[in-house]
């Protein structure tokens, strides 16, 4: 069960950001639009280890219909997709650059995301770098910081609720049925 | 800068709406009862993903159920937690919490002012699993501190303790737990999130017997575990290390602040099987929807009944933290500003009569207040511990539990106040003559 249109929600839990930073980098309407309108997600630092968080996120996004693009200098294939060494090697458009690398590497990937004209720079949970975020914002990208893209998709798609988690969504509106 | 879509809704709004969006198929406004054991998988790949916990969704009602999910998210929201898992009873909620956190050889430091069933679970059931429990007087946080050893893996207490209304000093206690990098587990059954939200004062985990005030109508047994999502389980072996019973999954690394609850659901509840029925989840939700209204009235009636008893010549003591004479009156005002619940004890003052006999005569003379072993019903309830739950104990052993042969426990309900006082007055007269 999805949350429907116009769901009102204040996501305040589980972030190391201040309230002002949350408003800037975790805007609910921005996140919902990104998840709805994006098709291609480059996952920087996607691991081939089936028990790693990045692998869980990659396999989830793929099963939810996104095209995932592993970015990892090790190359090879992950989740049946060709691995690219960096963003500039990817020969097609990328909507979201989802970063699973330590905070101090975020700035480099922000520059790459701007260079390949990605639509969004997304730094996963506890990956926080203001310089990276501001660089991407000033180049016109949407920016999400200290959020997990799988959790956010689950929040608005109903899956997180099914797991008993607090989505912080409140809505009395009846969602539209999805097309068969 | 907050967008139009961002709003933090009030407690009462979340009592009614959190966790339930009308379903797109039929638009049912009430929470539907999904009375089903299992759920059809879309395809083989999706099923495999579900079993590997890579997809969200329901597989089998022992693990999760859509009606129960509403109860879980709603109580998590009211407690300001990150999520919740509902189970068969309050005892099951505690046990699942301990089973998920602890390994053989670990220790817990627990308040000694607890529900008797909890004392038995801690002292005997956990002992069989080689978990040792040290009980301490919860009045002073230093008692917890002195009992902590290198093996201590959690602190445990009740917001409002049985039977004398001891109020847990949540602020210093959570600071103590933080200093030792161990979780503080709080049983918030008597307070409910309307009167106190332990997570706001630093508690890591909150457990409930939802059977009591959350459900509020004495119809259904259920329990729930809520996680604040704020504890760093990174060095906590049972949550952080690769799990042998989920093919090496590291729950904290993979699920972050959802790691503890994911493990509790996917392993502990899976293995122990103490699941809640969807019907009970529905009935408990009916109670949650009116929680604030009922608790306001419960507290008002309790305070008035306590005042009446305090002035009564046949009563020698009233142990309600809402009375200025109670040792934890100030603590109650700090942690429970809307009142310290509606369950308390008082002592009969039998003149020349055996106190146990006086207790029985009091119980037998009641007309309106129900004599049974429960609390938190909309109806007023009473029990005389010395002749029922604690009857095997000597007077001396009773005193160690904080009750005497003359002690009566009340759970004050929502009836007309004057009728409750009429009933108590008649029974007090009968007991002292």
Q: Which residue of A has its CA nearest to B257?
A: A14
Q: How close is the nearest chain A Cα to the Cα of B162, in Å?
A: 29
Contacts of A160 in chain B (CB under 8 A): 56
Indicate which of A147, A166, A177, A178 best probes the interface with B, i.e. most B CBs within 10 Å of its own CB: A166
Number of alpha helices (DSSP H) and beta strands (DSSP E) in chain A: 7, 9
Q: Which of residues 58-77 of A touch B (CB under 8 A)?
A: 59-60, 63
Q: Which of residues 226-265 of B touch A (CB under 8 A)?
A: 229-230, 242, 247-250, 253-258, 261-262, 265
- Per-residue pLDDT of B159-171, as tens digits, reads 999 878 999 999 9
Residue B419 CA neighbour count, 13 Å, CB half: 10
* pLDDT above 70 coverage of chain B, percent: 99
B100 touching chain A per CB within 8 A: no
Contacts of B7 in chain A (CB under 8 A): 8-10
How high is the pLDDT of residue B135? 95
Interatomic CA distance for residues B163 and B143, integer angstroms: 19
Q: Which residue of A has its CA nearest to B231?
A: A14
- Per-residue pLDDT of B140-149, as tens digits, reads 999 999 999 9
What pTM did the predictor assign? Answer: 0.95
Q: Quick one: average pLDDT of B389-404?
A: 77
ipTM of the complex: 0.92
Interatomic CA distance for residues B327 and A57, integer angstroms: 52
Q: Which fold has domain B11-288?
A: 3.40.640
Q: What is the pLDDT along chain A (180 residues), one digit of tens a residue?
A: 455 444 556 667 788 899 899 989 999 999 999 999 999 999 999 999 988 999 999 999 999 999 999 999 998 999 999 999 999 999 999 999 999 999 999 999 999 999 999 999 999 999 999 999 999 999 999 999 999 999 999 999 999 999 999 999 999 999 887 555
Report helix angle A130-138 to A106-115, nearest 10.
10
Residue B2 has pLDDT above 50, yes or no: no
Q: Where in chain B is the domain with CATH 3.40.640.10?
A: 11-288
Kindly determine whether residue B24 and residue A177, on different chains, have CB atoms separated by under 8 Å: yes
How high is the pLDDT of residue B263? 98
The domains located in chain A, with CATH, are: 8-170 (3.40.50.720)
Q: What is the largest CA-CA distance in chain A?
A: 48
B280 touching chain A per CB within 8 A: no
Kindly determine whether residue B5 and residue A173, on different chains, have CB atoms separated by under 8 Å: no
Q: Which residue of B has its CA nearest to A5?
A: B5
Q: Following DSSP, what letter does each residue of B232-257 receive, concatenated?
A: -GGG-HHHHSPBGGGTTB-HHHHHGG
Interatomic CA distance for residues B191 and B194, integer angstroms: 7
Identify the sign of the CA torsion A143, A149, A153, A156.
negative
More confident: B222 or B355:
B222
Interatomic CA distance for residues B226 and B214, integer angstroms: 14
Q: Which of residues 114-153 of A touch B (CB under 8 A)?
A: 125-126, 148, 151
Residue B390 has pLDDT above 80, yes or no: no
Q: How close is the nearest chain B Cα to the Cα of A96, in Å?
A: 20
Interatomic CA distance for residues B354 and B356, integer angstroms: 6
Interatomic CA distance for residues B154 and B278, integer angstroms: 31
Q: Quick one: average pLDDT of B288-303?
A: 98
Residue A134 CA: distances (Å) to CA of A41, A145, B168, B337, B364:
20, 11, 45, 43, 74
Q: Following DSSP, what letter does each residue of A84-145 receive, concatenated?
A: BSSGGG--S--SEEEE-S-GGGHHHHHHHHHHTT-SEEEE-TT---HHHHHHHHHTT-EEE-
Cα-flanking dihedrals φ and ψ of residue A159, to 5°? -70, -40
pLDDT band at residue B5 using 50, 70 and 90 as cut-offs = low
Residue B128 has pLDDT above 50, yes or no: yes
Burial B256-274 (b: 16+ CB within 10 A, else e): bbbbbbbbbbbbbbbeeeb
Kindly determine whether residue B21 and residue A178, on different chains, have CB atoms separated by under 8 Å: no
- Per-residue pLDDT of B108-117, as tens digits, reads 999 998 888 8
β-bridge mates for residue A165, sequence order: B83
Report whether CATH 3.90.1150.10 matches the domain B291-431. yes
Interatomic CA distance for residues A113 and A98, integer angstroms: 10
pLDDT band at residue B352 using 50, 70 and 90 as cut-offs = confident
Residue B362 CA neighbour count, 13 Å, CB half: 31
How high is the pLDDT of residue A9? 61
Q: Where in chain B is the domain with CATH 3.90.1150.10?
A: 291-431
Q: How close is the nearest chain A Cα to the Cα of B121, in Å?
A: 26
Task: Give the number of other Cβ atoms within 10 Å of residue B124's Cβ.
Answer: 10
């Amino acid at each position: 069960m999805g949350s429907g249109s116009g769901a009102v929600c204040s996501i305040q839990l589980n972030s190391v950001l201040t309230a002002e930073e949350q408003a800037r980098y975790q805007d609910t309407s921005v996140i919902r639009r990104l998840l709805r309108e994006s098709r291609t997600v480059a996952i920087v630092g996607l691991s081939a280890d089936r028990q790693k968080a990045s692998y869980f996120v990659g396999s989830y996004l793929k099963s939810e219909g996104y095209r995932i693009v592993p970015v990892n200098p090790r190359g090879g294939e992950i989740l049946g997709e060709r691995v690219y060494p960096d963003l500039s090697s990817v020969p097609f458009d990328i909507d979201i650059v989802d970063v699973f690398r330590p905070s101090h590497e975020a700035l480099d990937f922000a520059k790459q995301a701007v260079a390949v004209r990605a639509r969004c720079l997304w730094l996963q949970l506890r990956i926080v770098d203001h310089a990276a975020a501001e660089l991407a914002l000033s180049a016109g990208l949407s920016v999400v910081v200290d959020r997990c893209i799988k959790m956010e998709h689950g929040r608005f798609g109903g899956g997180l609720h099914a797991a008993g988690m607090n989505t912080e969504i409140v809505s009395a509106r009846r969602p539209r049925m999805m097309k068969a | 800068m907050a967008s139009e879509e961002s709003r933090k809704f009030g407690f009462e709004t979340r009592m009614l709406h959190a966790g339930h969006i009308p379903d797109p198929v039929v638009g049912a406004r009430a929470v539907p009862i999904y009375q089903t054991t299992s759920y059809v998988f879309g395809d083989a790949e999706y099923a495999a993903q579900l079993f590997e916990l890579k997809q969200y969704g329901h597989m089998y009602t022992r693990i999760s159920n859509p009606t129960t999910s509403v109860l879980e998210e709603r109580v998590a929201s009211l407690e300001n937690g990150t999520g919740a898992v509902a189970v068969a009873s309050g005892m099951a909620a505690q046990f699942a919490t301990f089973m998920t956190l602890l390994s053989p050889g670990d220790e817990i430091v627990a308040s000694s002012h607890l529900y008797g069933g909890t004392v038995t679970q801690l002292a005997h059931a956990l002992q069989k699993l080689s978990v040792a429990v040290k009980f301490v007087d919860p009045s002073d946080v230093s008692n917890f501190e002195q009992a902590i050893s290198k093996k201590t893996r959690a602190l445990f207490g009740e917001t409002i303790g049985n039977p004398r209304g001891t109020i847990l000093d949540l602020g210093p206690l959570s600071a103590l737990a933080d200093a030792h990098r161990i979780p503080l587990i709080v049983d918030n059954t008597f307070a409910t999130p309307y009167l106190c939200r332990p997570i706001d004062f630093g508690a890591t985990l909150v457990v409930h017997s939802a059977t009591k005030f959350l459900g509020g109508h004495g119809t259904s047994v259920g329990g729930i575990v809520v996680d604040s999502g704020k504890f760093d389980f990174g060095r906590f072996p049972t949550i952080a290390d690769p799990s042998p019973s989920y093919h090496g999954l590291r729950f904290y690394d993979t699920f972050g602040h959802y790691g503890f609850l994911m493990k509790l659901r996917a392993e502990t509840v899976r293995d122990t099987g103490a699941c809640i029925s969807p019907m009970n989840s529905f009935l408990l939700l009916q109670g949650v929807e009116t929680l604030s209204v009922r608790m306001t009235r419960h507290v008002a009636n309790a305070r008035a009944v306590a005042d009446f008893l305090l002035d009564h010549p046949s009563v020698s003591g009233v142990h309600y933290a809402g009375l200025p004479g109670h040792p934890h009156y100030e603590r109650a005002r700090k942690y429970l500003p809307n009142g310290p619940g509606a369950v308390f004890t008082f002592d009969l003052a039998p003149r020349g009569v055996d106190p146990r006999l006086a207790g029985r005569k009091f119980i037998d003379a009641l007309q309106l207040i129900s004599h049974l072993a429960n609390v938190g019903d909309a109806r007023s309830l009473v029990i005389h511990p010395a002749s029922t739950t604690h009857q095997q104990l000597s007077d001396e052993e009773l005193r160690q539990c904080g009750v005497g042969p003359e002690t009566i426990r009340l759970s004050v309900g929502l009836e007309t106040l004057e009728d409750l006082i009429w009933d108590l007055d008649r029974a007090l007269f009968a007991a002292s003559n």
